Structure 1
Amino acid sequence: MMMLNMWLMVFIMFMFGNMIFVSKHKHLLIVLMSLEFIVLSIFFSLVLYLSMINYSMYMLMVFLVFSVCEGALGLSILVSMIRTHGNDYFQSFNLI
């Protein structure tokens, strides 16, 4: 029963992250925060799954390395966008 509650919590975290990602798409910072929340919920689901099958946790380190690289790349894009355009609105710049 405890494991089912934890899986339900991870699923709710994943759904909230996706709802924020879809609904708040005007600001880049909110989009990046929701993506990190989704990555955190996927990390928790991996922890639950790997502990359930008694597998080693080395794959979690690889996942964390890639998620940190993704966060650093998103933060660098945010900083360069704020330096060039002055804000993080998606509507304030043209892609062409």
Structure 2
Amino acid sequence: MLIFMNLFLPIFMFIVGILVFSMKYKHLLSTLLSLEFIVLSLFYLMCVYFMNFNHEYFFTMIFLTFSVCEGALGLSILVSMIRTHGNDYFQSFNILQC
């Protein structure tokens, strides 16, 4: 029963993150926050999985490294978009502009 409860929470978090990502797509910041929430739920799921089967936690460190790089890349894109367009609306972003 305890294993079920430990697996239910990160799966629920993942589903909620996917729903927010698919419904709140007007702002870049809200999509980045929902992506980070999905990464957090996957990290929690991996920790629970490795804890239940007595594996090493080295892969979680690699996963955290890549998720931090993904977050830094997303923030740099957000800053670049705000500097060039003045806001983070996807409606004001035109791909054909230089």
Whether TM-score is above 0.5 comes out as: yes
- What is the CA-CA distance between 1:3 and the residue it aligns to? 1.6
**Unmatched 5+ stretches in structure 1:** none
Give per-residue Cα distances to partners, 1:46-94, cap 9 Å, x unaligned.
0011111111101110000000000000000000000000000001021
Q: How many residues align?
A: 96
Alignment of 1:1-96 (within 5 A): 1-96=1-96
Q: Give TM-score, length-normalised by structure 1.
A: 0.97
| SS of alignment partner, residue 88 of structure 1 | coil
CA RMSD of aligned residues (A): 0.6
TM-score normalised per structure 2: 0.95
* Deviations 1:17-68 (CA, angstroms, capped at 9, x unpaired): 0000000000000000000000000001100111111111011100000000
Aligned residue for 1:5, secondary structure, equals: helix
Among all aligned residue pairs of Structure 1 and Structure 2, give the percentage whose two residues are the same amino acid.
Answer: 56
Give the distance between the partners of 1:43 and 1:28, measured in 2 at CA: 23
- How many angstroms does 1:2 deviate by? 1.5
Q: Which has the higher helix share?
A: 1
SS in 1 for 2:91: helix
Runs of 4+ in 1 over 3 A off after TM superposition: none
